[in-house]
């Protein structure tokens, strides 16, 4: 059971918008710690997608955006493309564990 | 562009110690935090621990002191040892780097190795 909670799966048609939630607690997201997002394509290592809640690394399309409020964060993907089909993970810091924590991951299916 | 490459045995017997090494190339091992993260087949990511290049380490308490991470700056490598392994430790093991600017280090992982599958079985 992961410290951060994500929906196991989401889906959307090409061109649509989907959001993936990441819910934490008062010892991680709610304590003000930043949330980061990773995309894991099948059979590959995770790749940094969003850092510090809202920032995109160079090369990440602006179709991907992040937000954070209270004890939760969200990843939004607009203009869905077939190549977006992947697993997405949120990550933060937890003060009670004194280390990094991940969400359980969300599988995005492009219909 | 820094590159990370994991290496080590792909098969470990139950109760033995799993040992992996991550070789860093194309960038400095100094002034960064270096991490191990694993992913059991079909499951999510689990942070195991990280070490600063100077040697101070932090571990996931859920591993009950079974994990040790060390760094050898002269070889541009850092290593993972996980003792008393069971089938539950079967996973793809990734090494990764925490991002650091010239003044601060942050909690996200900006570079990852390709991962190596370690199976625990007799």
Closest-CA residue in chain A for B117? A43
Residues of A in contact with B109 (CB under 8 A): 36, 38, 46, 48, 91
Q: pLDDT digits over A30-87, tens only?
A: 999 999 999 999 999 999 999 999 999 999 999 999 999 999 999 999 999 999 999 9
The verdict on a CB contact (< 8 Å) between A103 and B109 is: no
Shortest alpha-carbon distance between residue B53 and chain A (Å) = 17
Shortest alpha-carbon distance between residue A9 and chain B (Å) = 13
Whether A70 and A57 have beta carbons less than 8 Å apart is answered as no
Q: Which residues lie below 8 Å from residue B55, measured CB to CB, with a gap of 6+?
A: B70, B71
Q: How far is CA B28 from CA A35, A50, A84, B77, in A?
A: 26, 24, 32, 11
What distance in Å separates the CA atoms of residue A39 and residue A49, rounded to the nearest whole number?
Answer: 6
**Closest to B68 measured CA to CA, from B14, B12, B58:** B58
Find the CB nearest B112 among A45, A93, A99: A45
Q: pLDDT digits over B39-61, tens only?
A: 999 999 999 999 998 889 999 99
Residues of A in contact with B115 (CB under 8 A): 45
């Amino acid at each position: 059971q992961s410290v951060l909670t994500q929906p196991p799966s989401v889906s959307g048609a090409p061109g649509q918008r989907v959001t993936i939630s990441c819910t934490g607690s008062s010892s991680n997201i709610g304590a003000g710690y930043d949330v980061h997002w990773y995309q894991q394509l099948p059979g590959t290592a995770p790749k940094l997608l969003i850092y510090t809640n809202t920032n995109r690394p160079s090369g990440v399309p602006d179709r991907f955006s992040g937000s954070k409020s209270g004890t939760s964060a969200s990843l939004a993907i607009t203009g869905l493309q077939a190549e977006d089909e992947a697993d997405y993970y949120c990550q933060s810091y937890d003060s009670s564990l004194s280390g990094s924590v991940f969400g359980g991951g969300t599988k995005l299916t492009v219909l | 562009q820094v590159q990370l490459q994991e290496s080590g045995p792909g098969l470990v017997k139950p109760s033995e110690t799993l040992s992996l090494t991550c070789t860093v190339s194309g960038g400095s091992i100094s002034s960064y935090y270096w991490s191990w993260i694993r992913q059991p087949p079909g499951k999510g990511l689990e942070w195991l621990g990280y070490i600063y290049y100077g040697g101070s380490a932090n571990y996931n308490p859920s591993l009950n002191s079974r994990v040790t991470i060390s760094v050898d700056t002269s070889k541009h490598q850092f290593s993972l040892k996980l003792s008393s392994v069971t089938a539950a430790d079967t996973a793809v093991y990734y090494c990764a780097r925490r991002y650091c600017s010239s003044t601060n280090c942050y909690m996200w992982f900006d570079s990852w190795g390709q991962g190596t599958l370690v199976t625990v079985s007799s």
